[in-house]
Amino acid sequence: MKRASRTPALPLVLLAIFLFMALPALLAFAGADVPESSRSIEAYQRESAMVDALLKEHDAAPDTRIFILVTKEPAELSAWAEQDDGRYAQLKSWPICMIGEGGLGPKMMEGDEISPEGFYAVTADVMNPLSTRHLSFNIGYPNNHDQLNGYTGSYIMVHGECSSKGCFAMTDGVMDQIWALMKRAFDDGQTSVPVHIYPFAMTKENMAAHKGDPAFGFWKTLQPGWVFFDATKRVPNMIVRKKAYVLGKSLDKAPVQTAGDAALQDKVLANRR
């Protein structure tokens, strides 16, 4: 005698389909766990009150998004937090203790001792609580742009211990603060933290002063990102076309206040539409 086949109830089937389709979004919302060690736990415990104070001082929500901006001259790393209107406010800046001795310009080759310039993103899984340089995170070099241009190198970090052959080295105390802020962002659901690295503040005057540099053509592709952020205080959507950085269109249509070189501002902000 044949057994009657059992067909799952329709509501259960629909629920299973919904959960399967929604799983990526649910995981993105939940964020990812930051790896931990006794060293990183102690650093976070020491600095979490500082993070709370910074967010409160700048009217940033507890689950705000974080953005990291780096310049090589002066050697400085600054952290910014998104506010309710979508603009970013600077939370704090720190001096970079040491960068690669290769000077300004993009990193092109393993061992050139040049710290990268460009647009990178950090995810929770590349946070390293067991670093030989106190604490660290990998900035993501080489990114798509770097790979398309044949650049080589790896393991470019922001780390402690103030020693660098191409990384961005901080003092251990500063690295503790940066780690705590990054961990808070990931714990609150941010899936990646943008890290934008420039040779210097890319103003009209600074660009004119470096016009004869071999890297000037590359720097012209970075400048729209700087100008956009300076004008809007919103993180630019930088994409790669024909092996070069270009400013992609922004989904944000809110009005902006512009400042600086009006002609370049107009050209850059046109990409928002």
- State the Cα angle at 135 between 233 and 154, rounded to 5°: 80
Cα(94)–Cα(73) distance, integer angstroms: 13
CA distances from 25 to 15, 17, 19, 193, 271 (A): 16, 14, 10, 18, 28
Q: Please tell me the predicted confidence (pLDDT) of residue 184.
A: 95
Q: Please tell me the predicted confidence (pLDDT) of residue 66.
A: 96
Are the C-beta atoms of 77 and 67 separated by less than 8 Å? no
Give the predicted TM-score (pTM) of the model: 0.82
Output the six-digit token pair for 206.
Answer: 């600074």
Under DSSP, the state recorded for 247 is: E
Q: What does the pLDDT profile of the chain (273 residues) look like in tens digits? A: 444 445 445 555 444 444 444 444 433 344 579 999 999 999 999 999 999 999 999 988 768 899 999 999 999 999 999 998 889 999 999 999 999 999 999 999 999 999 999 999 999 999 999 999 999 999 999 999 999 999 999 999 999 999 999 999 999 999 999 999 999 999 999 999 999 999 999 999 999 999 999 999 999 999 999 999 999 999 999 999 999 999 998 645 443 333 334 444 444 444 443
Are the C-beta atoms of 110 and 137 separated by less than 8 Å? no
Can you point out the beta strands (E) in 125-259?
A: 127-128, 136-138, 157-159, 168-169, 193-198, 238-241, 244-247
Strand order in the sheet with 127-128: 127-128, 136-138, 157-159, 168-169
Cα(235)–Cα(82) distance, integer angstroms: 9
Q: What letter represents residue 50's amino acid?
A: M
Catalytic residue ranges: 159, 167
